[in-house]
Amino acid sequence: MGTDQASEAKSTRRNYLATGGAVAAGLLAGCVGGDAGAGDGGDAPADGSDGGSSDGESAADEEQSDDAPADESYTVSMASVGEVTFDAVPESWAANNGSWADMGIALGQQPPEAVYLASRYHTQLYDDIPGVSVDKAGMTSLWESELDVEEFLALSETVDFFAMDPNFLLGRTSNWEADDIDQIESAGAPFFANSIFSRGYEWHDYDYLTLYEAFEKLAEVFQEEERYQAFEALHQEFQAGVDEIVPPESERPSVAIMWPQPIDQPEAFSPYLIDEGTSFKQWRDLGVKDAFATTDVKDFHADRGQVDYELLLDIDPDVLLLRGNEAKTAEEFRDTVVAFMEDHSVASRLSAVENGDVYRGGPLYQGPITNLVLTERAAEQVYGVDEELFDRERVADIVNGEF
């Protein structure tokens, strides 16, 4: 669908309630707050009468009244945005990151038109799942050197909502104000999300959600509750299987999750301490030991600090998990990052390097599908599990509406 056609179709969806007569402001697409059933506009007869019956009402009049558009609006609430009312199920959208984008794909939706950073939406993780793929070729990255309010306003003409936490946008840039959020929402595309991938941001002073709590909320937005329930059941079975392969605590390795600086030939690292954010879900579920948890090393969110090889040698984690390398295959990662560390005078003395236990540490963002893939991969990395832990055909069936 072309841009002009998409804008026209979106305008039709936004304004269809008005064709039935007066419409309460709270029923317009994307309004935040308000009672979904306020006012009498959506049920008003098309002929403009007060709706009362009369002995002289004709069959044609009755038929016209029956054909008036029904009020299909519904409201979904979430910490950070409150209640958001939709006048119809969204058809086009933008997502903050790969977590929310992946939730939408799991719910059988079209890919988002834009994300915060397309390079960090790792769609190659779908490669082993038959019938599930996403082409990012036309997907817009909203972050370049900064976030542009005008770009969001233009996008609000083609998308029905932003699956983005507005507090994340305000917290990550200095050139936005709350009025900018209000202006974008007034254009008809509300914000609906909660920043869940990390719990290290000071501005996040409202309730966090787990991955599946957020997933359930998005399912309400897309009116795909049954599909969500099918995925939740699959996830519960998956978790039970994961619990069975986790060894006793005394046999679990210590891991250091870090972002290498620079990526290919690292001399220093930004450390991540495992917390309740969704970007650590696979490591929490596998019960690994955080090598930094019993040291003075702080999460990089706290002071943007770094660790070097000398400090790593003192701690000497069993496994090194390096983020920022998801665009590489496992072989490409070994040929670049691992090869550099093996030739490094200090890095080569680390136990993880000597034993070949340096791996890609997973992306910052994961949703219900990618979490299955990443957890299975992590189980192989840290426990040597060499088996499929989830049914790929079943995932594809749920995504495609066969459940």
Whole-number pLDDT of residue 304: 82
At residue 24's C-alpha, the angle toward residues 18 and 25, to 5°, is 95
Task: Work out the pLDDT band at 302, boundaries 50, 70, 90.
Answer: confident
Nearest in space to 185 (alpha carbons), one of 208, 213, 155, 210: 155
pLDDT at residue 43 greater than cutoff 60: no
User: Does the pLDDT at position 19 exceed 60?
Assistant: no
Count of alpha carbons within 13 Å of 371, Cβ hemisphere only?
A: 33
The pLDDT of residue 274: 96
DSSP tag of 262: S
- Per residue in 338-356, pLDDT (tens digit) is 999 999 999 999 999 999 9
- Cα Rg, the chain, nearest whole Å: 25
Superfamily name and number for 1-223:
Nitrogenase molybdenum iron protein domain (3.40.50.1980)
Using the structure block, give the residue that is written with the tokens 């970007």.
279
Predicted confidence band of residue 67 (pLDDT cuts 50, 70, 90) = low
pLDDT tens for residues 220-247? Answer: 999 999 999 999 999 999 999 999 999 9
Within this chain, domains 1-223 and 248-399 share the same CATH topology? yes
- How many residues in the chain? 403
CA 286 to chain centre: 21
Confidence of residue 59 (pLDDT cuts 50, 70, 90): very low
Q: Quick one: which of 195, 224, 219 has its CA closest to 209?
A: 195
The torsion defined by the Cα of 59, 65, 67 and 71, in degrees rounded to 10, comes to: -160
**Nearest CA to 379 among 240, 246, 284, 235?**
246
Identify the pLDDT of residue 69: 56
Task: Give the Cα separation of 358 and 326 in Å (integer).
Answer: 14
Average pLDDT, the chain: 85
Q: How far separated are the first and last CA of the chain, in Å rounded? A: 29
How many helices (DSSP H) and strands (DSSP E) are in the chain?
16, 12
Question: What DSSP designation does 33 have?
Answer: S
Mean predicted confidence (pLDDT) in 245-255: 97
Q: Is the model's pLDDT at 26 over the cut of 90?
A: no
Of the candidates 54, 20, 60, the residue with the CA atom closest to the CA atom of residue 40: 20
Q: For residue 358, what are its two tokens?
A: 């340096």
Cβ-count burial 116-152 (b if 16+ within 10 Å, e if not): bebebbbbebbeebeebebebeebeebbeeebbbeeb
Helix (H, G, I), strand (E, B) or coil at 141: strand
Of the options 3.40.50.20, 3.40.50.1980, 2.160.20.10, 3.40.50.410, the CATH number for the domain spanning 248-399: 3.40.50.1980
* 297: CB partners within 8 A, 6+ apart: 271, 273, 305, 307, 311, 315
How many angstroms separate the CA atoms of 299 and 304, rounded?
8
What burial class does residue 74 get, using C-beta atoms within 10 Å of its C-beta: 0-12 exposed, 13-18 middle, 19+ buried?
middle
Provide the sign of the torsion angle of the four alpha carbons 307, 309, 313, 314, taken in this order: negative
Residue 146's pLDDT band (boundaries 50, 70, 90)?
confident
Q: Which of 67-71, 73-77, 130-134, 345-349 has the lowest mean pLDDT?
A: 67-71
User: Residue 50 — very low, low, confident or very high, per pLDDT cuts 50/70/90?
Assistant: very low
List the single range of 25-29, 79-83, 335-339 with lowest mean pLDDT. 25-29
In the chain, domain spans: 1-223, 248-399
Is the model more confident about 235 or about 56? 235
For the whole model, what pTM was predicted? 0.82
Residues 6+ apart with CB under 8 A from 286: 242, 246, 375, 378, 379, 382, 383
In whole angstroms, what separates CA 111 from the centre of its chain?
Answer: 12
Phi, psi of 363 (to 5 degrees): -75, 170
* Helix ranges (DSSP H) in 189-275: 211-222, 225-245
User: Region 153-181: what's the mean pLDDT?
Assistant: 93
Mean pLDDT, residues 382-395: 97
Look up residue 173 and give its two tokens: 């840039």
